[in-house]
Chain A
């Protein structure tokens, strides 16, 4: 299968502190990769640097997305090219309508790709279709972005937006945090429905629990800014049982 993302020897620093220290990862179409690791190992830095957050400086290495080095692209350009980051802590933005901003987002994407603007009718149809996927309450769609949403509603809203934007590469940053088991099922079902042979997913998580619902093809352990071990879904089960300590002694692969 075709490679979507190739990260080569990535070094990244935030405020002069090196967080990623030579990370390698290759993701092909149709695959689900889980990235696990203890606190402070660089999981969130990886998601931020992939989405193009300023303040995250790449000092060495490359991020090749669909055969193009995207290190210099802005967050919006990455989004237009089909990348999506579901935030660990979705931001509350008072006064900005959830639906209006999403419509602007879709139209700016269409414009960038040289496509027509979406009509109001088609947009609303799409909204009702995609919100049903994660059971997002009608009222929430029209409210200000994430304002006053519960933890679970925020995560549903993330997956709803993901469905609307139809990304090629989705990065789910700790999507399970703050979810009860019912919400976890709904969110996972949404992600699984969106999965296809044409796209790929990176699931960043602390716990194995989420991987019962979104089953990964590969599991990687991130430790101290590097991937120190890779395996299949059984690695996640082993981590659940043994913790991370046993890995720290092994040399990086």
Chain B
């Protein structure tokens, strides 16, 4: 039987033709390689609704660090004007645009995002413009059983550079909501973007896809921290379409209590002389399930590529599960590539050593946890954001 999400038709204000197209899409099957580890849980059994009010009045309702710089709050897919402070620069324009992308049937969540997003956020950075502050984008899910689709397009012109802290959170008591988000990022020659993603949606579901196109000498850095979510599925797909590019994917994911966090990444090296670094760390607690499936393709003409990929996991409890699948596909003959995966527990000797010096068991475990994620935390330059994430890791 083909399966689809159970969507409450009356709550979605869409044309009949769109509704028919939606009904035409089917959820991916476990037989598909990219979805073989998927734990759908309750997702297929719940009924989801569309169209929700904006109701968050102030930041104190949300579990966020202190935000400095521009703030864009997107609640249930729409702009929360009250909480947002959007800068007005000639070189940095942030606008909502009508979606005029013509529909092409693709995978389920891509198709539905395409069909259901009527306005997307368009962030354009002009040539040579380097924005020193961090742009904060807060995606809030505040509707239980809501199905929310949102999309952001980033267009970074030549020599321009920005940093973004992107939060995916829920407001109090929101549960069983489903957020389907896309970031589409275009990096022109010698431009750069750093995205620090933070996902803490607790009792909700999240599908998040980033599609990146890199031109010559561009730099893309993604620091992905997935703290909690009933289901989180991240797809990051980088097409490196230029020479001398830098691509860096870092991640920490920490599923616990029956949560499922799945990271699928793809770096496609098409041109020569590029470097890519990927480093993901999993901290799996109680009966949480984690997935790392990272794939690096080095195409035939992409000589002199350096591509490094690493995934290390700590299983904190007996019922914790990790599926780790590092993949390299190399068609060029003059490259430096490596990939590796380790899974284990914290070293009992190290734990005893620290305790014998007077650290409580809890404190010793905290130190070992920090030691484990340290090299990834060091890649986050924004100290506020870093502290916030560290505290979150330790509180888990």
Contact = CB atoms under 8 A, between A and B. Distances in A.
A168 B358 CA distance: 14
Contacts of A108: 358-360, 363
Nearest to B374: A95
Interface stretch (B113-121, B234-242, B344-352): B344-352
Interface string A83-117: 01101001101111000111011101100100000
Contacts of B374: 94-96
7 A-B pairs with the lowest CB-CB distances in the bound complex, closest first: A95-B371, A95-B374, A79-B358, A75-B355, A96-B371, A105-B358, A91-B353
Interface in A59-101: 74-76, 78-80, 84-85, 87, 90-91, 93-96, 100-101
B375 A95 contact: yes
Interface string B195-223: 00000000000000000000000000000
A91 B349 CA distance: 7
A75 B367 CA distance: 16
Contacts of A91: 347, 349-350, 353
B290 to A, nearest CB: 20
A225 interface: no
Given A104-B359, A161-B357, 12 more contacts: A76-B358, A76-B361, A79-B358, A90-B353, A91-B347, A93-B371, A101-B357, A104-B363, A108-B358, A108-B359, A108-B363, A145-B353
Interface string B349-385: 1101111111111011001101111110000000000
Given A91-B349, A93-B350, A93-B368, A74 B355 contact: yes
Interface of B: 347-350, 352-361, 363-364, 367-368, 370-375
Contacts of B372: 95
B35 to A, nearest CB: 34
B367 A76 contact: no
10 contacts: A74-B361, A76-B358, A76-B364, A93-B368, A96-B371, A96-B374, A102-B357, A104-B359, A104-B367, A105-B358
Contacts of A51: 352, 356
Given A95-B371, A96-B367, A101 B359 contact: yes
Contacts of B359: 76, 101, 104-105, 108
A75 B352 contact: yes
Nearest to A144: B371
A87 B372 CA distance: 23
Contacts of A79: 355-358
Nearest to A93: B350
B356 A75 contact: yes
Chain A interface residue count: which class?
Answer: 20 to 34
B357 A96 contact: no
A54 interface: yes
B376 to A, nearest CB: 10
A74 B362 CA distance: 12
Contacts of A102: 357
Given A76-B361, A106-B358, A93 B353 contact: yes
A183 interface: no
A106 B363 CA distance: 12
Interface of A: 51-54, 74-76, 78-80, 84-85, 87, 90-91, 93-96, 100-102, 104-106, 108-109, 112, 144-145, 161, 165
A111 to B, nearest CB: 10
Contact of A76 (B347, B350, B355, B371): B355
A165 B350 CA distance: 18
Nearest to A107: B358
Contacts of A112: 358
Nearest to A112: B358
A96 B368 contact: yes
Nearest to B378: A95
Nearest to A101: B367
A34 B354 CA distance: 25
A199 to B, nearest CB: 16
B94 to A, nearest CB: 38
A90 B370 CA distance: 20
A87 B361 contact: no
A169 B173 CA distance: 53
Contacts of A96: 354, 367-368, 370-371, 374
Contacts of A78: 356
Most buried by A among B348, B349, B360, B363: B360
Contact of A105 (B352, B357, B371, B375): B357
B358 A95 contact: no
Given A53-B352, A91-B347, A91-B350, A165 B357 contact: yes
Contacts of B357: 79, 84, 101-102, 105, 161, 165
A52 B355 CA distance: 9
A110 B361 CA distance: 16
A54 B350 CA distance: 13
Contacts of A74: 355, 361
A51 B364 CA distance: 16
Nearest to A48: B352
